[in-house]
Each structure stands twice: as structure tokens, then as C-alpha cells.
Amino acid sequence: MEKKKIRTLGLANLNWLYRNEELKAAKEQQIIQQLFADEYWLAAKTIGVVKALPFEFDTLPVIGKAWSEGKQVTVPKVENGWMGFHQITPESLFVRSSFGVEEPAEKQETALAEIDLLIVPGVVFTVEGFRVGFGGGYYDRVLENFKGNSCSLVFSEQIQECWEAEAFDQQINKLFIK
């Protein structure tokens, strides 16, 4: 199946789950418990994570837990066709991007080499860790040069094996699935 069709299917599944709030919340809780117990999380001093859209995996508890454990948190910001990660604090201000995602208003870019754990969003995943995102290729370009650990927080509804990864698709190291 082509990526455009698989993305449409994935978005439909995410929206179905979003409308089933209790199920979504229960799955999120089980997935973040897996994440917080994992060596990737425990060893990380700096994490990269997106501020999610409402129908995506809610990353606010992840951000809050990171701060409570003294970890630095960076979130993506797209400028001039490139995505960089910027450190945020509880006091940070955000602006809504053209993609609808909240990005930090101020620039405090963190070098990729300083990020220990990158939590990568996606619409559809294979169990091997390949993903279909929203179609911009931003994460694939970042992952090409990223040397730290990568993971994704994945609902079972996002797992689809009916598509082939392309040469430029970057594999995620670990998926936490429920």
C-alpha cells in the first residue's frame, strides 16, 4: 500500500482512538509505564519530544516526568525547512506552527549530540520500527544524523505491516506498544 493511503488509514485509527477517550488514556498509561521503566529513559539526561496534537499520544505526562526527574527537555521547531530541537522549561512560551503543533517561542537550540533519547512521533509503524509520519520527512532527516537512542510511543492501532519502508526511511530503535 502506498504511504499516502497508509497515512490516511493511520489517521483514521488515531481519530477513532481519540474519540474513545478512556481506552486511549488507559493505553497511554500502560505505554508510559513501559517507557519510564526502560533503560533508555533511566539513562537519559536530555530528551527530545514533541508537544503532541490532541489525537496523538499525549506527551505532557512524559515532559512533566522528565522535569520532575531533573532531565532536560527539548522540543522540535521547524524553521527554513529544517527541524531543530530547543530546550524548554515549565515557564516556556509556545506558538502554534503552520502544522498546528506548539513550538517554543524563544530559540534555545540543543545540538543533536546532546540529546540522549529522542521520542519520535508517527502515524503508522511496523513492528520493526519503521514509521510513516505526516509526510514532511523532518524526523527521517534528523534520525539520519542522530547517534542517541530513539523510541516511539505506539498504540496497537498504529501497527500496519501492509507497506514497505523506503531507502530514506529511518528505523526507530525501540517501540513501546499497547
- pLDDT tens for 124-145 read 999 999 999 998 899 999 999 9
pLDDT at residue number 107? 86
Residue with cell 493511520: 10
Give the pLDDT mean for 89-110: 92
CA 55/CA 53 separation, integer angstroms: 6
- Residue 80, pLDDT score: 87
pLDDT at 135: 87
What's the total number of domains in the chain? 1
- Note down the domain range covering 149: 3-177
Extract the C-alpha cell encoding 38. Answer: 526502560
CA atoms of 122 and 157, how far apart (whole Å): 12
Report how far Cα 143 is from the mean position of its chain's Cα atoms.
Answer: 12
CATH number of the domain at 119, please. Answer: 3.40.50.10420
Q: pLDDT tier at 115 (50, 70, 90 boundaries)?
A: very high
Residue 175 has pLDDT above 90, yes or no: yes
* Residue whose C-alpha cell is 514533541: 50
In the predicted model, is pLDDT for residue 98 greater than 90? no
